[in-house]
Structure 1
Amino acid sequence: MTALAPTAADGTVQLATVRERHFKVPIVLAAATVLLGALFLFVPRDGTSTFRLDGALADIAVPTALTSWIVVGLLVLLTAWSFFDAWMYRKPALWLTIVFGVLAVFGFLVWAAADGLVPVTSLLYGAISLSVPLVFGALGGVIGERAGVVNVAIEGQLLLGAFSAALLSSLTHNPFVGLIGAMIGGMLVAFVLAAFAIKYLVDQVIVGVVLNVLVTGLTGFLYSAMLVPNEDTLNRPVRFDRWEIPLLSDIPIVGPVLFNQTFIVYLMFVMVGVVAWSLYRTKWGLRVRAVGEHPQAADTVGIRVNPTRFWNVMLAGAIAGIGGAYFTLVSVPQFGKEMTAGLGFIALAAVIFGRWDPIRASLAALLFGFATNLQNLLTVLKTPIPSEFMLMLPYVVTILAVAGFAGQIRGPAAAGKPYIKG
């Protein structure tokens, strides 16, 4: 950081650079290393851990105890490296954090799979599947907050999107009509959010929370009053089938995970790239970032701030609605009460952890999806970890990610602040 130094003899003000040591990430890595080491020490497991990569590849078997402690040793070295970087006034490199995370997860899986089997392809496939609603919700959150509106109503947009998709797909027997209905459902929630937050200047967080409660109650009432009595006609959505991409789906491990998916998953891949490119490379993206960072300056150069915010909040709602459609058009064969189970708030955490960047937020959503699927795998492996803790695992990962690695980051400067012209 730069600070003003005392004036020189000739009266000029000199600038001095004050360097800071960033110890937050090293401390988090050290805490994770200690916890993992304590787990291996006080709950030792022996035997052989087997990893099944793919049908075309041979299984990999490793000694559980030896491999676990080798991983701990590597984690200690990486933690020491991060402390050295911080001491030398350097921020720990991103690759170091990623390698640390991969090694820590591998070591934990080795310990958990003692005399058991870890299906790697199934684990990754499940992580992708569980991440899809989070990625769409995170993209909606990024667009909304980049435009200056805090989108706390992602949960409501996911839930109404899921309800609309189930209803319309059941009536028309067409999943694409259900998908369009989900986008409309997400836009309806976004419209109310935009109207109150932008037009009537109501606190955006309060509006978002109220909308989540309203949509939860509304969909619950409609489910009991309309879908349950007419389940065969109104709650039997036609779902998307998997589309296997020739050649690419035959790639070991990666092929079945990425290239044997449904239309919504392929749409997710495209949407992440389009939003990331458009936000930084197009006139639309420049205007969105301008009204979210400095609306007065944007207004000065002729950008209509509030209409720009309004339409982008609507766009964000449509994208989040697609995430809701995944629940009823891919994951579950029918709509159920509160079936989103708070994933909208985890998507909001992914936005913060991803520093309001589409690609980083999507990767954060994938991390949370992986943690959720890991919880399911640990239950199957019958690890000695209490089941209550395993249910907490995705949320613990969310808290650690946001509090430990996000740090004191700055979002869009005007996010959450209404703009009054003049």
Structure 2
Amino acid sequence: MTTLETSTTGAVVGAAGPRRSWRVVWIYGVLTAIALVVLVGFARPGVARFGLATGSDFVQLPEVVLPGLATGIVVALVAIACTVAAVLLRRRDRHQPLWLPVVFAVALVVGLLTWATTGAGQSVPLPGLLGGSLALAVPLIFGALGGVISERVGVVNVAIEGQLLAGAFTGAVVASLTRSLIVGLVAAMVAGMLVSFVLAAFAIKYLVDQVIVGVVLNVLVLGLTNFLYTLVLVPASATLNSPPQFSPIAIPVLSAIPVLGPVLFRQTVIVYLMYLGVVAVTIGLFRTKWGLRLRAVGEHPQAADTVGISVGGTRFWNVSLAGAIAGLGGAYLTLASVPSFTRDVTSGAGFIALAAVIFGQWNPVKATLAALLFGFASNLQNVLGIVGSPVPPDFLLMLPYVVTIFAVAGLVGQVRGPAAAGRPYIKG
């Protein structure tokens, strides 16, 4: 395909290339200014303590004690250095490396944790904080993976929320009836795929606006599951809404690694499937013929059609695959996280997953990191409340949404989606 070229990151982009803006630099500058004011200007006397070990760790690490003011100064200096680096890269019109926003985000997280827990009544259990963050991020990651696949092939997937919700409902009911977790997982994937079928049919076959179809599907699935929950599940909860639960499986040796071992390797089967999913989607998109065809259809469907690729068929089946992956995220909510289906159990997770897709620049790995950041922000409010942080609870409640706003505003620079995403293709 002579009209297409592959970028150094493996993504198919137009010959003109993406335009870089100063927006990312402004975001860095604003966050750095906030860090200076909050972490240094409003630093409290005392120290913050972080527990690094659990009772079953092979090596018991001691607590880490960080002075509040000194840590705030160091974090502010790191943030300033990252901001200067972002300015220099923008002036030279160079691509921003992944490590720069990662270092920036990690520094701010450490500073925020230290500032929020200075003078708290007890130490922060770091493995518990990270483990809870991963648990909250799992449905977001599945939804983001589905969103990346769908939008890379040219269909804007606003219906991630509906796919997660359909997967959660169907997985709970089928697993309750069959007492089989595997059957429940498969049913959840089918439910997510069915929602995607509707999205694909209207968006690809009948050329209906993809955003409108996605919003309508979200409302439809929400209303339908709430109706069935009240009419069917509540009266027969013991039969239809009491699914078995996946138990954590500890991987020998790896699960005994301090800090990260309990977080990553004492998880349920669905979480291990998520690990495999991130790797498989990343390799598939950028290292296989399937991924090349998918990205070509999402970037330049006319050129793809010229070389014999079925644009409609490629879009339809990949949108369906995206729905099946999102359905797995819904199954996690009712088969691993909570013991039953409840009203609106997703609580807007699909929209946060969509934000993670944008934040992650339509890249599976970056979208996964974005979902983990959102999960961390959501879990932070719970942990800080438990350890007795003096930070006002209202601030903690708004934290996940503040992170989402800054993320979508362009924290990691280029925010350019697939060129043909959202545009119906008419052959000829």
- TM-score of the superposed pair, with normalisation by structure 2: 0.90
Q: Which residue of 2 aligns with 1:82?
A: 86
Count of aligned residue pairs for this structure pair:
404
Contact 1:354 1:363 in 2 (8 A): yes
Contact 1:159 1:338 in 2 (8 A): yes
Please point out which of 205, 208, 222 is paired with 2:214: 208
1:68 counterpart letter in structure 2: G
Report the Cα offset of residue 115 of structure 1.
3.0
Query: Are positions 1:64 and 2:84 aligned together?
Result: no
Report the Cα offset of residue 336 of structure 1.
0.5
Alignment of 1:326-345 (within 5 A): 326-345=332-351
Query: Are positions 1:359 and 2:365 aligned together?
Result: yes
**1:345 and 1:37 mapped to 2: Cα distance?**
31
CA offsets, 1:47-75, max 9 Å, x none? 12111111411111122223222322332
**1:272 and 1:29 mapped to 2: Cα distance?**
28
4+ runs of 1 displaced by more than 6 Å?
none
Report the Cα offset of residue 88 of structure 1.
4.8
Distance change in 2, residues 1:306/1:90 (3 Å):
closer
Distance change in 2, residues 1:297/1:321 (3 Å):
same
Query: Are positions 1:392 and 2:398 aligned together?
Result: yes
Q: Which residue of 2 aligns with 1:295?
A: 301
Report the Cα offset of residue 274 of structure 1.
0.6
**2:205 and 2:90 mapped to 1: Cα distance?**
46
Query: Are positions 1:107 and 2:106 aligned together?
Result: no
Query: Are positions 1:281 and 2:287 aligned together?
Result: yes
Report the Cα offset of residue 407 of structure 1.
4.7
Query: Are positions 1:98 and 2:102 aligned together?
Result: yes
Q: Which residue of 1 aligns with 2:166?
A: 160
Sequence identity of aligned pairs in percent? Answer: 59
Q: Which residue of 1 aligns with 2:53?
A: 54
Aligned-residue CA RMSD in angstroms?
A: 1.8
Alignment of 1:211-250 (within 5 A): 211-250=217-256
Give the structure with higher Rg (CA).
1
Contact 2:374 2:404 in 1 (8 A): yes
Q: Which residue of 2 aligns with 1:415?
A: 421
Distance change in 2, residues 1:58/1:408 (3 Å):
closer
Unaligned runs of 5+ in 1: 1-16
Distance change in 2, residues 1:206/1:101 (3 Å):
same
Distance change in 2, residues 1:283/1:157 (3 Å):
same
Q: Which residue of 2 aligns with 1:325?
A: 331
Q: Which residue of 1 aligns with 2:26?
A: 27
Relative contact order (C-alpha < 8 Å, sep 6+): which is higher? Answer: 2
Single out whichever of 402-411 and 312-321 deviates more from structure 2: 402-411
Distance change in 2, residues 1:47/1:275 (3 Å):
same
**1:148 and 1:285 mapped to 2: Cα distance?**
13
Please point out which of 373, 387, 396 is paired with 1:381: 387
Single out whichever of 74-83 and 182-191 deviates more from structure 2: 74-83
Distance change in 2, residues 1:409/1:40 (3 Å):
closer
Report the Cα offset of residue 276 of structure 1.
0.7
Contact 2:148 2:364 in 1 (8 A): yes
CA offsets, 1:349-406, max 9 Å, x none? 1111111111111111111111111122222234344323322211111110110325
Contact 2:176 2:239 in 1 (8 A): yes
**1:199 and 1:313 mapped to 2: Cα distance?**
13
Distance change in 2, residues 1:421/1:399 (3 Å):
same
Report the Cα offset of residue 26 of structure 1.
3.0
Contact 1:21 1:88 in 2 (8 A): no
Report the Cα offset of residue 241 of structure 1.
0.7
Q: Which residue of 2 aligns with 1:7?
A: none
Contact 2:359 2:415 in 1 (8 A): no
Unaligned runs of 5+ in 2: 1-15, 55-59
**1:26 and 1:297 mapped to 2: Cα distance?**
35
Report the Cα offset of residue 110 of structure 1.
1.0
**2:413 and 2:105 mapped to 1: Cα distance?**
17
CA offsets, 1:8-61, max 9 Å, x none? xxxxxxxxx9xx985433322221122122223554322121111114111111
Q: Which residue of 2 aligns with 1:11?
A: none
**2:83 and 2:422 mapped to 1: Cα distance?**
37
Please point out which of 330, 334, 356 is paired with 1:350: 356
Q: Which residue of 2 aligns with 1:148?
A: 154
Query: Are positions 1:37 and 2:36 aligned together?
Result: yes
**2:78 and 2:211 mapped to 1: Cα distance?**
43
Single out whichever of 207-216 and 378-387 deviates more from structure 2: 378-387
1:113 counterpart letter in structure 2: T
**1:27 and 1:300 mapped to 2: Cα distance?**
42
Secondary structure at the aligned position of 2:400 is classed as helix
CA offsets, 1:308-350, max 9 Å, x none? 1111111110000000001000111110011101110111111
- TM-score of the superposed pair, with normalisation by structure 1: 0.91
Please point out which of 232, 247, 253 is paired with 2:259: 253
Single out whichever of 176-185 and 295-304 deviates more from structure 2: 295-304
Secondary structure at the aligned position of 1:336 is classed as coil
Report the Cα offset of residue 92 of structure 1.
4.8
1:170 counterpart letter in structure 2: S
**2:168 and 2:406 mapped to 1: Cα distance?**
29
Report the Cα offset of residue 97 of structure 1.
2.4
Contact 1:112 1:381 in 2 (8 A): no
1:39 counterpart letter in structure 2: V
